[in-house]
Amino acid sequence: MFREKIKVLDCTIRDGGLMNNHQFDDRFVRAVYKALSEAGVDYMEIGYKNSKKLFSPDKFGKWKFCDDNDILKIIDGIESNTKISIMVDVDRVDIDDVKPAGESPVSMIRVASYVQDIDKAIFLVNHFAEKGYETTVNIMAISRALDNELNEALHQLEEECKAQVIYIVDSFGALYQETTEFLVKKFKSILKTKEVGMHAHNNQQLAFCNTIEAIIHNANFMDATIYGIGRAAGNCPLELLIGFLKNPKFDIRPILDVISNEFIPLSSQLESGYIIPYAISGMFNEHPKAAMALRQSDKKENYREFYESIVSASMD
C-alpha cells in the first residue's frame, strides 16, 4: 500500500493524556519522541494548547498546555525530522499565548471543532496560518453530524479556510467501512485544494480497518497512537499502520522497543483499549464518557446493566 503522499501523525501523548489528565512525565514523553523520530513518523502531537484560565495546572499535567519551554526540554539533543504538533479546541485557547512559528518548536496546530462551530475553527486556523504554522481542522463527532450541516461546513472550509488538511474524526468509534468510504468521498468531492485526514477510535475494533478504508479512497493524513493508547477504547495502533503502509522511510523496530519498555508497564496503571463498555457506546454512537465513568465504579464489569441503561437512554 506504498503511497509517498501519505503522512502519519502520532497522537499518543495528546490522546492518551485524556486518560490521565495529561500527566505523562518528561522521561516517558521523551522516550516516545525518540522512538517516533527513529521510526520516521512525520508528526508527533504532544498535547493541547489549552487556556490556563479555563483549566487549572494544579489538576492537569503540562501536556494540557504545551508551553514551548516544556516542549524544548523533550526534543533537546534528539536528532529528528519528526515535526511537533499541538491541538487547540475551539473556545479553549488564548490565541495570544501562541507565538509566531519562527519562535516556537511547534510546526503544526490542529484545531478541533464540532461541525456547528466551523466559523470559529476557520478564524483560529487562519490566525495560526498567518503566524506561520501548518494547520488542520479536525471535525469531531462526525458520526453525529447532519449531512446538510456537514456539506455546508466543507464548502465553507474549502472557500474560506487556510488549513492544509481537514480531518474526519470518529470520536465515538461508531463508523463502519461503508460510512468511512462515503465520508472520504464526500470530503474529496468538495475539498479540491486540501488533503483529507482520518482519526479513528477503536470502540468496535474498527480503527485500523477504517484507517485502511480511508487510505484506499485517497485520504493522505493518518492519525495513530503507539499500542493504540488513547481516550477510552483508544485509536488506530501506530505499529499496525506502519506495518500496513510498506513505506521504506518507516522503521517499526523503535516502536516495538518502546512498547516493550514503556507501554507494557504502563498498561498495568492506565486502562485504555477495547473493552465491552466502550464497544457498547460505539454501537449506539454515544460519547464514551458514561462507559469511562462505569470503569471507575464498583459495577465496572456489569456489562448487561450498562447495555440496558444505554438502550433506555436511546429510547427517551
Each residue's pLDDT tens digit, 205-227: 999 999 999 999 999 999 999 99
The yes-or-no verdict on residue 2 having pLDDT over 90 is no
Q: Is residue 85 classed as helix, strand or coil in its secondary structure?
A: strand
The yes-or-no verdict on residue 125 having pLDDT over 80 is yes
Each residue's pLDDT tens digit, 27-37: 999 999 999 99
Region 196-210: mean pLDDT is 98
pLDDT at 117: 98
Q: Rounded to an integer, what distance in angstroms lies between the CA atom of residue 284 and that of residue 144?
A: 11
Domain boundaries, given as residue ranges, for the chain: 7-267, 276-315
Q: Is residue 59 classed as helix, strand or coil in its secondary structure?
A: coil
pLDDT at 284: 97
Contact 183, 142 (CB under 8 A): yes
Each residue's pLDDT tens digit, 4-35: 999 999 999 999 999 999 999 999 999 999 99
Cα–Cα distances (Å) from 116 to 56, 57, 166, in that order, read 27, 29, 15
- Which tops the pLDDT comparison, 118 or 315? 118
pLDDT at 1: 59
Contact 90, 120 (CB under 8 A): yes
Partners of 296 in the β-ladder: none
User: Which band of pLDDT confidence, cut at 50, 70 and 90, is reported for residue 244?
Assistant: very high
Distance of CA 22 to the CA centre of its chain: 14
Region 161-175: mean pLDDT is 98
Q: Is residue 31 classed as helix, strand or coil in its secondary structure?
A: helix
The yes-or-no verdict on residue 76 having pLDDT over 70 is yes
Distance of CA 273 to the CA centre of its chain: 15
Region 110-120: mean pLDDT is 98
pLDDT at 190: 98
Q: Rounded to an integer, what distance in angstroms lies between the CA atom of residue 311 and that of residue 295?
A: 18
Exposed / middle / buried, residue 114 (Cβ in 10 Å: 0-12, 13-18, 19+): buried
pLDDT at 100: 98
The yes-or-no verdict on residue 290 having pLDDT over 90 is yes
Q: Which is nearest to 249 in space by CA: 32, 75, 36, 44? A: 36
Length of the chain: 316
pLDDT at 257: 98
User: Domain 7-267 classified CATH 3.40.50.300?
Assistant: no
Residues 6+ apart with CB under 8 A from 292: 232
pLDDT at 315: 79
Q: Which grid coordinates are listed for 116?
A: 456547528
The yes-or-no verdict on residue 313 having pLDDT over 90 is no
